[in-house]
Amino acid sequence: MKKAFTLVEIIFVLVIMSLLFAGTFKAVEAIYTRSSQAKALTDLSLQSQIVLDQLSVLLYSRIANSVIGYTPGGSCEPINELTTPRPVIEWLATADDALLQGEYDGFVDMNASVKASFTLATPHSIDINEPNLNLVFAGAFDAGSEEISACNGAFGWHGNDSNLSYDITMGTDTISITDSVKPYLIYEKYYLTHTAYAVARGADIDLSSACIEELGVPVDANTLFLFYNYYPYATPSQTFCADGGEGSVTILSQDVTAFTAQAVNDVIRLSIDMHKEIRGRTCGVHVSKQKAVF
């Protein structure tokens, strides 16, 4: 009667167990990789949509003819010429909260205004308690005044003159233009702006800027930033803090490998690419999305 395994049998069992273990490990690893891939794809898809939705909300309150796109160290294009995708976009935002609260209505009573003193009669307007307000006229057909290119002398972008945005003082039902440069034409509709916005990736800015370091979180070339609370129309002109200027910054997203903006048939098209490495997958996960902003 056989009472023990032979050495050959033991080796044979160990070989089978090793093969089973290796196969099980590979199967579990494949399941884990597919699970990580699906999770990363969901996260990137959701995050990219959130970023585009946030930017579309901010751009909805833009002053149309103030939008510019440019490549750092390269050329700048105003919105009406923004046919080449640019990695940095900037614009002036309207004082939308004050408008919604009824602190001004955005229209001038042309008959009651005094052109000689550049005092605009603006019914329902009050003295808004907000610094750095500037006035921009909407222009004919609300398309924006186009006497001067937005990139050159219109709103003070990157050290240029600011000849289409005006320093003002507000009173009850009046706005007085106090700027040294006075408007040649006064339009019925106007905007009040209280800040500029800029969107750029870490690859296109100075990541060693104090405002970036003050965030206290790891950032890199693929971090997408939103800059605000700076005033290109101020004296002297301001640019955003990671461009050697002033203001505040927040992080919109990480893992952004590309971001561009361009104009297509008077619509701003935002494009974003996001990528994340996955262990066990050499090519990682990649998501590309676009959004039209009207």
Whether the predicted pLDDT of 1 surpasses 60: no
Confidence category of residue 80, pLDDT binned at 50, 70, 90: confident
Contact 197, 90 (CB under 8 A): yes
Residue 260 within any structural domain of the chain = no
Residue 96 within any structural domain of the chain = yes
Buried b (16+ CB within 10 A) or exposed e, 104-129: bebbbeeeebeeeebbbbbeebbebe
Mean pLDDT, residues 254-283 taken together = 87
Whether the predicted pLDDT of 92 surpasses 90: yes
Residue 90 within any structural domain of the chain = yes
Whether the predicted pLDDT of 141 surpasses 60: no
Residue 47 within any structural domain of the chain = no
31-35, 185-189, 284-288: least confident range:
31-35
pLDDT tens track for 58-68: 999 999 889 99
In whole angstroms, what is the distance from residue 193 CA to residue 211 CA? 23
Domain count, the chain: 1
Whether the predicted pLDDT of 16 surpasses 80: no
Residue 227 within any structural domain of the chain = yes
Q: How many CA atoms lie within 13 A of 234 on its CB side?
A: 18
Whether the predicted pLDDT of 34 surpasses 90: no
Residue 55 within any structural domain of the chain = no
Of the candidates 51, 131, 64, the residue with the CA atom closest to the CA atom of residue 93: 64
Confidence category of residue 132, pLDDT binned at 50, 70, 90: confident
Confidence category of residue 200, pLDDT binned at 50, 70, 90: very high
* pLDDT at res. 143: 53
Confidence category of residue 55, pLDDT binned at 50, 70, 90: very high
Whether the predicted pLDDT of 233 surpasses 70: yes
Q: Which residues pair with 196 in a beta bridge?
A: 92, 230
Residue 4 within any structural domain of the chain = no
Pairing between β-strand 166-171 and β-strand 248-253 as defined by DSSP bridges:
unpaired
* pLDDT at res. 30: 63
Per-residue DSSP letter, 84: S
Domain that holds residue 225: 61-254
Residue 234 within any structural domain of the chain = yes
